[in-house]
Structures are given as C-alpha cells and as structure tokens.
Amino acid sequence: MTISLSPDPVGPDPVGPDPVGPVPRRDDAEDFAIWPASARSAADGDATVGGVSLAEAADRFGTPVYLLDEDEVRERCRTYRAAFPDADIVYAAKAFLSRAVAHWVREEGLGLDVCSAGELGLAVATGFPPERIVMHGNAKSPDDLRAAVRLGVGRIVVDSASEIARLAAIVPPDSRQQIMVRVVPGIAAGGHTAVRTGTDDQKFGLSIADGSAQHAVARILGQPRLELVGIHCHIGSQIATVKPYVAAVRRMVGLLARVRDQHGVELPQLDIGGGHAIAYRPGERPLPVGILAGRVRAELEDGCARARLPVPRLTLEPGRAVIGPAGVAVYRVLAVKRTGERTFVAVDGGMSDNPRPALYGVRYTPRLIGRRSAAAPGLVTVVGRHCEAGDVLADGVPLPGDVRPGDLLAVPAAGAYHLSMASGYNLVGRPPVIAVAQGRARVLIRRESLDDMSRRDIGL
C-alpha cells in the first residue's frame, strides 16, 4: 500500500522562527527573502552577496557566473548539526560538489553522500575522511564499488539484489564492509513526479510491500564479509512538510522490528535520506528543520519504545537545503523580443547551466541588477540561448518594462542541481563558480573554455 503525503491533505505543518538556515536581518528582507542572508541592495540598483557586488562580479568574471556564499553554506550546516545533535548529517554531493564545498562541509562536521567513483575520488583527494562517506546509487558500476571498498567508504547503500553478491566478491577476506539496504517505504512525497522516490513505481530501492527488502536483509546477513548496520530510505525531493518523514520513520521502525523478530538482529542505524524543500519564489516556505527534528525524534523514540527496540542512530542527507539558497546565478540580457502578447527576454545562459525548468517546470524569480529603473513592471518570459523551445528559465515573471540588451539579471536559489546537472549543449561551456565571503571573491571552478571541450574530441 502506498501512502500519498504531498501535498499535505490536512494543511501545512506549523512554521515557526526556525527555517532551514539563517534568518535574514536587513531592512529589505522582503525583497531578498529567498536570497542568501548576506544579500543587500545598493543605491545604484545593484545587489551584493557576501559583501561582493554582483554587477562588479559579472564584469570581472564574465557571464553567466555563479556566486556561492560560503558563510551561508556553513551556517546551514550548523543549523542541521544544532537541530540533530545526536545524528549523522551527511551532505548530498549530487546537489553540487567541488573541492571547496567538500572542505566546508567537512570543517562543519558533516559527512558526505556520493553516487559515483568520480564524486568519491574528488572528495578523498581533498582529504575528506572516507569513513564519513556514504555511497549511493541504483546502478553502481563495478568501478564504483571497487573504489568504495578500496578507499574504505564508511557505508555502502545496497539498492538491488545483484549488488550483494558483487560486493561480497570484492571485499577482501580479512575485512568487512558496512552495508545499508535502501528500502521503498510506499510513501509518495515530493515536488514533482520525477523526484518522488518513495513508491514502488520508480527505479530506486527494494520494496517492503513485495518482500524484496526483507529478502535482501536475509542475504546480506548470510555474507561474512558484509556487515548489515541499518536500513535506508529516501522518499523524494523538494518536500515542504514534515508528515511524510514521520510516516517513513514509522514504517522503517516496523521493518526494524521485523528484522529483529525474524533474524534476532537489532540494527543500530536508520537513514531517512534528504529531499528537504527550499524556497524558490517569495512566499514559499522551506521545510522547517527544527520542527522536522522534533517530530522525527518523537516518532522514532515512541515507535522504538512500542516495538521494544533500542533507538537507532539517525542519519539525514540534506543537499539542496544546504547549498541551494547559497547560490546566485547572474546572466546578461542578449535580446528582448515581443511576439504577440508575450515578451521574451533572452539571456546568455540557459538549459546548459540550469536544466531544471526543462526537466521539472521549476519557476524562479530573476531580479534586474546593476541599474535602477522607474519603468512599470511587466510580465516576461526569461529564456536561454539554446536551440530548444523549452529552454525557459522563468515564465511569467515581473521585470521592469524597459529591460534591454546589456542588462544583468540575477537568479537566487541557484546553488543546487544547476551546475551539477550542467551539460555541454551547443558547446557553450559551463560557467565559473565564485565563492564570496566578507567582501572577497575567489574562483572555485573556472569557466569551461572551447579548448577544454576540444581536447576530448580526438578523432578526425
């Protein structure tokens, strides 16, 4: 049976003064409600993030350019650590990973969740302790698994029955690899059907309903080189209410009790994944991490007490909620076209650096920066430069009626699933990532050049 919990059928969870991340303290808090807490407006129509002028950054580094507020990332890590002091907080690298980000989250006491040998290799090369890394993936390659075992990854999350035998053959005879089983709890939650991963009709995990999860547990317990330490679930992404997580914990505790009853084993760990929502537009609210912590902790303790189980150590895997609100993308307007009743504002980026609107229909709130405008706002469609009609960054958004080529547009909440999903479409090249903090800007990832892309093309 599948429980559908998004949207919340009985109203939203209470939202208090404890959102994910720092609360802005500024005079223009309403205008910058979904921006990094350091964002400020300037007298000339510019905006600053981390004390750095966005217009000056665009001139210095070119456009498109992505700015990442280091202090915002660190503060969001601390918010999770404070809300869940007795849990493992594991940053989901798929949201966005670079050497600097791996360094920041390590310094703030978080672990790391990786999905490939590439993400794993980058993290370990920065000095990230492999024992604090969790490896995921519904179809891990042999190279992925070999790298995880060789480098000493803390936990590997098994996502299919075939991985069990493969792992058992890879692990050296004199060692044991800690394993978790990814379970499908039968809960539908998430901001879009493409990111709902808690039901049986998608590619991730092993089902409780058909017995696949229980069968995997039994097989792992029979492998002397594999140490089953817990169960895992991830129910979806951009989830704005607490209730789906509470329901998932209830079902996972039920499975822990069944494992105990059937095998005499009390598993010490429970991973409930991530997927915590952030605000992309004014008026949207993020998943309140303080309320999440209280409700999840209460359900876990009560459920374990009823089942006469010891309370397992909890793991959470926030990615978007840590990095998403810390990023701002800046584009330059290349053309303004009025067709019928619509106005199209074309910028110098698009689906090659942000495919999310094309994939999920995500809506953003771009802002004119770099100059003041007294023109009345009108609704426009902000589009990218790529050869697809679906290359739309923002549809039906208000911009000043005199927006023109050469203007700069800034898009907040751009830190997650933009550059991590970026492509080489039209050989445009991926934008640079610039860290900003305390008035200083430094390059984390340089702009991808035509020479970078040409080096891979070796045939003629």
* pLDDT at residue 190, as a whole number: 60
**Boundary of a domain, candidates 272, 302, 323:** 323
Q: How many domains does the chain have?
A: 2
Averaged confidence pLDDT in the chain: 90
Quick one: 74 and 180 in the same domain? Answer: yes
Quick one: 304 and 405 in the same domain? Answer: no
Look at residue 316 and tell me if it is in a domain.
yes
* pLDDT at residue 139, as a whole number: 86
Do 458 and 91 form a contact (C-beta atoms < 8 A)? no
Residue 439 has pLDDT above 60, yes or no: yes
- What are the catalytic residues? 387
Quick one: 144 and 163 in the same domain? Answer: yes
* pLDDT at residue 237, as a whole number: 83
**Boundary of a domain, candidates 323, 345, 374:** 323
* pLDDT at residue 26, as a whole number: 40
- CATH number of the domain to which 331 belongs: 2.40.37.10
The torsion defined by the Cα of 42, 45, 51 and 52, in degrees rounded to 10, comes to -150
Quick one: 315 and 367 in the same domain? Answer: no
* pLDDT at residue 17, as a whole number: 35
Quick one: 265 and 204 in the same domain? Answer: yes
Cα separation, 241 vs 15, whole angstroms: 10
* pLDDT at residue 226, as a whole number: 97
* pLDDT at residue 18, as a whole number: 39
- Residue numbers of the domain that contains 202: 70-323
Do 217 and 263 form a contact (C-beta atoms < 8 A)? yes
Look at residue 4 and tell me if it is in a domain.
no
Identity of the amino acid at 435: A
Quick one: 238 and 128 in the same domain? Answer: yes
* pLDDT at residue 189, as a whole number: 59
What pairing do the DSSP bridges indicate for beta strands 88-92 and 313-316? parallel
Quick one: 391 and 427 in the same domain? Answer: yes
Is pTM, for the whole model, over 0.75?
yes
Quick one: 275 and 387 in the same domain? Answer: no
Look at residue 435 and tell me if it is in a domain.
yes
pLDDT tens sequence across 406-437: 999 999 999 999 999 999 999 999 999 999 99
Quick one: 99 and 241 in the same domain? Answer: yes
Do 243 and 13 form a contact (C-beta atoms < 8 A)? yes
